[in-house]
Structure 1
């Protein structure tokens, strides 16, 4: 098995204690940092698909994401000179009136593992705060808004429309238990994702 293939398997199976050493071995063997990162991103894509289809659940997904982050820590110093490896910055938050963060945290890890720099605003985020965060951070290409309660769907609508009014070209991704593709279309979002795995895929599509 090649070193990169080994890294992929370790990420997919969530072997966080072994990933860092395997990534270092792959680098020592002459593999390019970007190729190793791409392999880990592909692994998290597989994990996301398994999560979407119900083969695995939140704990397994968190374990795989932790393993990936251990690998990324080894790559960061090597890749810091190469600015082109980031797809841009994504601002994420749970909308005003909603205190749920497990889903948002999963989505944050998955979008980060797809190659974005993440700025997490936390929960109960007022609509205008998303706009401020875009202005405060460099190279923001995506805003992701999460709403987990039916009662906070109006706040999700407000968040999307506030961002779009202030920043017409900004891509906005929405998701959460009560949210549907139809609702995302209705409120003017650019993308909708039903779970963390598809959020990472959609995020890349929106900024491609």
Structure 2
């Protein structure tokens, strides 16, 4: 198969909930000499986006979406075996990563974590549905350089602003960069709440982190 055919097959595995066969497709993709990061982003993540559209259109429901997520995660775990070994360097940057309170959608967060770790950043993942108090406490405890926040629902976006406000209240805002991402989030929203940056993709988040931490 061509690379494009492989990517389509990986995407289809997620949409069609083929949580077992996706691993074999990943192995064949790698054996053909194609890039694992591209396979994750343009194959597996593409499939999850397609599944999310089906969910929005009420063709898929929560049970189907969960199996699609399992298929994507199985594929990502297999791809991780072929990514360069991450050499975590605290001097390069320590990042607290979280999905904000009220939001349990962590697929994007998990992918950002994989990408950041692949590029050598030390990531402190505090999970999903996390309060602003817990996020800021983790920043203080870990002496982090950055907070990366995710939200996938318009109803939870304002939680990002609460994190920024609490960081200011605790007196750490000037010492830590704060970036945001997620489907409903935009650059305009980032500007409006006083975040330091916004990215619409996992690889974009890596580039944003690199740029912001170089300026500190």
TM-score between the two structures when normalised by the length of structure 1: 0.61
Give 2:108's aligned residue.
110
**RMSD across aligned positions (CA):** 4.4
Shift of 1:62: 1.8
TM-score between the two structures when normalised by the length of structure 2: 0.60
Against the structure 1 CA distance between its residues 112 and 18, is the aligned structure 2 distance closer, same or farther, given a 3 Å change threshold? same
Give 2:136's aligned residue.
131
Matched, 1:142 2:140: no
Matched, 1:170 2:177: yes
Shift of 1:56: 3.1
Gaps of 5+ in 2: 88-93, 117-122, 183-187, 209-216
Gaps of 5+ in 1: 176-181, 193-199
Residue 75 of structure 1 aligns to a residue whose secondary structure is helix
Give 1:68's aligned residue.
72
Give 2:119's aligned residue.
none
Residue 78 of structure 1 aligns to a residue whose secondary structure is coil
Give 2:6's aligned residue.
3
Aligned residues: 185
| Contact 1:10–1:67 (8 Å) recurs in 2 | yes
Against the structure 1 CA distance between its residues 187 and 16, is the aligned structure 2 distance closer, same or farther, given a 3 Å change threshold? same
Give 1:197's aligned residue.
none
More relative contact order, 1 or 2 (CA 8 Å, 6+ apart): 1
Question: Higher mean Cα deviation, 69-78 or 113-122?
Answer: 113-122
